[in-house]
Amino acid sequence: MREIRLLALESLSSTLPRVDRRVESIFTARFDPAGQACDATSGTTVFVHQCTRMCMNVLVGLVGSDESIKTLRRTIDRTEEVGDDLTVAIVDKPEAKRSQAEMTQQAETLLTDAAVDAEVITLEGDPGSSLVDYAEQGEYDQLVIGGGTLSPMGKIQLGPITEFVLLNAPTTVKLVR
């Protein structure tokens, strides 16, 4: 069972013409694997006019740096909160602090500790190109990457991989600093 918090809006007629009142109620609904509501609890009875699932299909790209670990932790936190579908792509960057194998092991450990179900894949070739190519093949709502430092003047400085992904990704890119 998946539990999702919903905001329901009910428009009530008033005795005065053209006057509507909105009643907002937050409640929790439990859904079976097929997405059908099984049980809903609330302090008041509401009629749900529209229910929008706020979950996204997220691809997070990691290169083996400390920023990548920070990016993965933040993405896991969001996944726990809203139930995003997560895919972790680890690219090969020879000069990185951690090897691709070490990064894969660390990512799987963090995901297991957080009890988050996610696919972990490794990508070969140029880091930026392989990440953008993989994002193009999937139906991702967001691509999350780490990177960017501040210059002495307070402006953001992007590395070549981050810059390439920001300029070429087919989807929304979230930069975690």
d(CA 8, CA 10): 7
Does residue 143 share a domain with residue 95?
yes
162 CB burial (10 A radius; 0-12, 13-18, 19+): buried
Q: Torsions phi, psi of 124, nearest 5?
A: -105, 160
What CATH number is given to the structural domain containing 154?
Answer: 3.40.50.620
Q: Answer yes or no: is 48 within a domain.
A: no
Q: Answer yes or no: is 105 within a domain.
A: yes
Does residue 64 share a domain with residue 35?
no
- What proportions of the chain, in percent to the nearest 5, are helix, strand and coil? 30, 35, 35
Whether residue 136 contacts residue 165, with contact meaning beta carbons closer than 8 Å, is answered with no
| Domain hosting residue 31, numbered range | 2-41
Residue 143: count other Cβ atoms within 10 Å of its Cβ. Answer: 25
Number of domains the chain is built from: 2
Does residue 81 share a domain with residue 129?
yes
pLDDT one-digit tens code per residue, 128-163: 999 999 999 998 999 999 988 888 898 888 999 999
pLDDT one-digit tens code per residue, 34-91: 444 444 444 433 334 344 456 899 999 999 999 999 999 999 999 999 989 999 999 9
